[in-house]
Amino acid sequence: MILATAETGTGEFGFSDADFRDLARLARAEYGLSLADSKKPLVYSRLARRLRARGVEKFQDYMALLNDDAEADERLELITALTTNVTSFFRERHHFDMLASELLPDCGHHGRIRLWSAGCSSGQEAYSIAMTLRDSLADIDRRDVRVLATDIDPAIVRRAQNGRYPKEEQSAIPAHLSRQFTRRCNSDPDHFEMTDDVGKLVTFAELNLMTTWPFRGPFDGIFCRNVAIYFDQDTQQKLWTRFAEMLRPGGYLFIGHSERVSGPATASFRSVGVTAYRKIVPSEQSTTKGRET
């Protein structure tokens, strides 16, 4: 494929700097995505297939589609094309160890436990949380324990709800958890699936993090890992603040390995591990005020 050049916009469809800026404005306004000028060739290569699929001859016409209120599905195709759903079971294992060793004991014997996988992709993170809960809480069936898992992409949410994965992904699950909470998929021997007692803990839903959230919390823990990397600093800082408002005092926030809480939200959190933060409880506020994490 011949990629568009920055100045002339040459290529199969023509992609001028003005076209890129229009697309970048829409992506930021609708989804919080930050598209640097250096991403122009990548954006072209990923969206060219959408123009072919829609029979569109130039990016200006594709922008007209995206701005059409009747084209909500195409705007979701846009977000799918511009982001990467890369995930695995128990990715960044230290977060799940902290969930078991610190967050859950911190909940004590409270009957209600709420965790949120924000940007859950195809579900491996949410099911890893659920398996950790099952393994750690002997009395889980007598408690009100739920995992909310959300993603902006409806197709990826449906895949997550299915709870079925290629066999090669199973090796990432600790052996004792795999024996208890996965089973062979009878309809497809090359896949495995989650057991019902894990699946019933998780509720999947579509959600754009840039819009109003249709729930109040509070959550005991939020996993939002490798999502904020797509946002500019201002959008990231607003997201950290919204997460702080959704967490109970003492609740935990787990973020991606290249992400850091910054801005006003640093007054609400203290660092408790590698890319792990705990919301400050009122009694700690005076001693941690203004601390940067």
Catalytic residues: 46, 151
The token pair that represents 291 in the structure block: 């601390």
The token pair that represents 210 in the structure block: 């840039």
Q: What is the dihedral of CA 54, 55, 58, 63, to 10 degrees?
A: -30
The answer to whether 195 and 119 have CB atoms below 8 angstroms apart is no
CA dihedral for 252, 258, 259, 260, sign (positive or negative)? positive
Question: Known binder of ligand: residue 208?
Answer: yes
Residue in the structure block whose two tokens are 């990432």: 172
Question: Please, is 265 exposed, middle or buried when counting C-beta atoms within 10 Å of its C-beta (0-12, 13-18, 19+)?
Answer: buried
CA dihedral for 163, 166, 167, 171, sign (positive or negative)? negative
Question: Known binder of ligand: residue 209?
Answer: yes
Question: Known binder of ligand: residue 162?
Answer: no
Question: Known binder of ligand: residue 260?
Answer: no
Task: Please name the amino acid found at residue 156.
Answer: I
- Which helix or strand (DSSP H or E) is residue 52 part of? helix 40-54
Question: Known binder of ligand: residue 67?
Answer: no
Question: Known binder of ligand: residue 186?
Answer: no
The token pair that represents 240 in the structure block: 């950290």
* Residues of each annotated binding site: 85, 87, 91, 125, 151, 208-209, 225-226
* Residues of each annotated binding site for S-adenosyl-L-methionine: 85, 87, 91, 125, 151, 208-209, 225-226
